[in-house]
Amino acid sequence: MTKPIETDVVIIGAGPCGLFQVFQLGLQGISCCVIEALPHAGGQCAELYEDKPIYDIPGIPHILAGALTDRLLQQIRPFNPTIYYGQTVETAQIKEGGGYKIVTSQGQTLTAKRIILAAGAGAFTTVQMRVEGIEFFEQTQLFYRDFPDNQSAKEALSGKQVIVSGDTTAAISTAISASEFADKTTYIHRKRRLNANDATVAALTNTVDAGKLCVVNGKVTGYTANDKMITHLSVIDHNKETVNLPADMILARLGNSPKINNFLDWGLQSIRNHIEVNPANFQSNLPGFYAIGDINTYPGKRKLILCGFHEATLVAFDIAAQLNPNKPIHTQYTTTSTELHKRLGVTENRQVSGLDIIKEL
């Protein structure tokens, strides 16, 4: 068990709403930590449509979902939040006297005065291969994310016959990278049309043309094992023929699927797997426990990023008022407030024109 961390607020989820929540809390001078199930920020923007354009962010005609995540990370940089990637919240218990004790899947303990759930459709979990019995070989021959014992790609793949499976951009990138070190690399994808941007598809084509990589359009249906080791994967290709591919190592990059996880075990009231909140401040039935973004529900709710940004703003004001009951919480403007400029690290003589912003975009 690692040393407990104390903070004002714990945010569960580092998607767009969770990241903007960090920014709004920072403007109020409130510290926070973020817990994210994925190994990176972005949530649905990163996992489901990283290369797709978004057209309804105010003031930005269009922006790729991945680029939006990068902008939000840049925006929260002045507040230097701690983000615990690759972890989920196992328990969230109300402390005697107020506040919460949170324990993550990696054994990290945090105490917080408030919790904000910004988990979108739920915590993302790795999609597993649907082949009976193949789970027995996880972390010996089958790997969903990391290489064995945190080895480098070169150490793990050299001299091996590697199969990469998945229709994701990550699968294509993994196959290309693996081909640099493996003795033989085969990339298997189910969909006829690759779901990736033009640059990634072009890189794949170039690698295949160079003779470094074989591509099979088909579905993994089984495996052959000898002495408790997989020797071949069975694949039904697009011609409905079974192909047996030699395999020393399998890198499955099948994407991630959102799940409500254990949120509903904490006593939160819900409607159809969405957390019910008060639309005035987006607080749940639990004291000091808020929910914003796609995970919440209230009369008139719309699942839009900009609505989640609005919710994050009002939550920050509400928490500021609760944590400082004797201090008036005034609306300040980042355009003119010297206090907000100080928190943002903006010097008084620094001015940014609208033209400069357009050039950056």
pTM score, two decimals? 0.76
pLDDT tens digits along 220-254? 999 999 878 999 999 998 889 999 999 999 999 98
Do 30 and 111 sit in the same domain of this protein? Answer: yes
pLDDT at 1: 53
pLDDT recorded at residue 226: 87
The whole-number average pLDDT for the span 200-213 is 92
Is 271 found in the same domain as 233?
no
Residue 123 structure tokens:
């915590």
Binned at pLDDT 50, 70 and 90, residue 348 comes out as: low
Tell whether 132 and 250 lie within a shared domain. Answer: yes
Q: What is the CA radius of gyration of the chain?
A: 23
- Which whole number is the average pLDDT over 31-41? 93
Domain C-terminal end among 254, 283, 310: 254
Strand duo 214-226 + 274-276: pairing: unpaired
- Per residue in 110-120, pLDDT tens? 999 999 999 88
Q: Are residues 144 and 247 in the same domain?
A: yes
Residues 258, 122 contacting (CB under 8 angstroms): yes
d(CA 299, CA 278): 9
Whole-number pLDDT of residue 265: 83
Q: Tell me, what's the pLDDT at 152? A: 84
CA distance 66 to 339: 31
Query: Which residue range(s) make up the domain with 190?
Result: 128-254
Tokens 């088909």 sit on residue: 218
Q: 132 and 244: one domain?
A: yes
Same domain flag for 195 and 277:
no
Residue 16 near residue 56 (C-beta atoms within 8 A): no
d(CA 340, CA 287): 28
Residue 325 above 50 pLDDT?
A: yes
Structural contact between residues 55 and 62, judged by C-beta atoms closer than 8 angstroms:
yes
> Has residue 361 got a pLDDT over 50?
no
Residue 227: per-residue pLDDT: 78
Instruction: Write down which residue in 200, 232, 254 finishes a domain.
Output: 254
One domain for residues 276 and 331: yes
Contact assessment for residue 269 and residue 289, using Cβ atoms and an 8 Å cutoff:
no
Residues 6 or more apart in contact with residue 297 via CB below 8 angstroms: 271, 272, 274, 275, 276, 277
Of 143, 141, 327, 163, the closest CA to residue 243 belongs to 163
| Helix, strand, coil percentages in the chain from 3-state DSSP, rounded to 5 | 30, 30, 40
Separation CA 71–CA 135 (nearest Å): 38
Q: Are residues 232 and 136 located together in one domain of the fold?
A: yes
Token reading at 130: 């649907």
Q: What is the pLDDT of residue 169?
A: 83
| pLDDT, position 360 | 44
The full DSSP string for 72-95 is HHHHTGGG--EEEET--EEEEEEP
Q: What is the mean pLDDT of the chain?
A: 89
- 158 and 108 together in one domain: no
In the chain, what percentage of residues exceed pLDDT 90?
A: 68
In the chain, the number of structural domains is: 2
Task: Assess contact for 239 and 217: CB atoms under 8 A.
Answer: no
How far is 20 from 11, CA to CA, in rounded Å?
A: 11
Q: Identify whether residues 206 and 276 lie together within a single domain.
A: no
Residue 197 has a pLDDT of: 76
Residues in contact with 236: Cβ distance below 8 Å, sequence separation at least 6, in sequence order: 218, 219, 221, 242, 243
Pairing of strands 123-126, 229-237: unpaired
Boundary-marking domain end, from 202, 230, 254: 254
**Model confidence band, residue 351 (pLDDT cutoffs 50, 70, 90):** low
- Selected residue with higher pLDDT from 1 and 73: 73
> Do 113 and 132 share a domain, yes or no?
no
CA–CA separation, 274 and 330 (whole Å):
32
pLDDT in tens, 136-145: 999 899 998 7
Q: Could you tell me if 167 and 230 lie in one domain?
A: yes
Q: What is the mean pLDDT of residues 301-326?
A: 96
Q: Please say whether the beta carbons of 61 and 78 come within 8 A.
A: no
Residue 118's CATH number: 3.50.50.60
Q: What's the mean pLDDT in 53-74? A: 94
| The two structure tokens encoding residue 345 | 């690290």
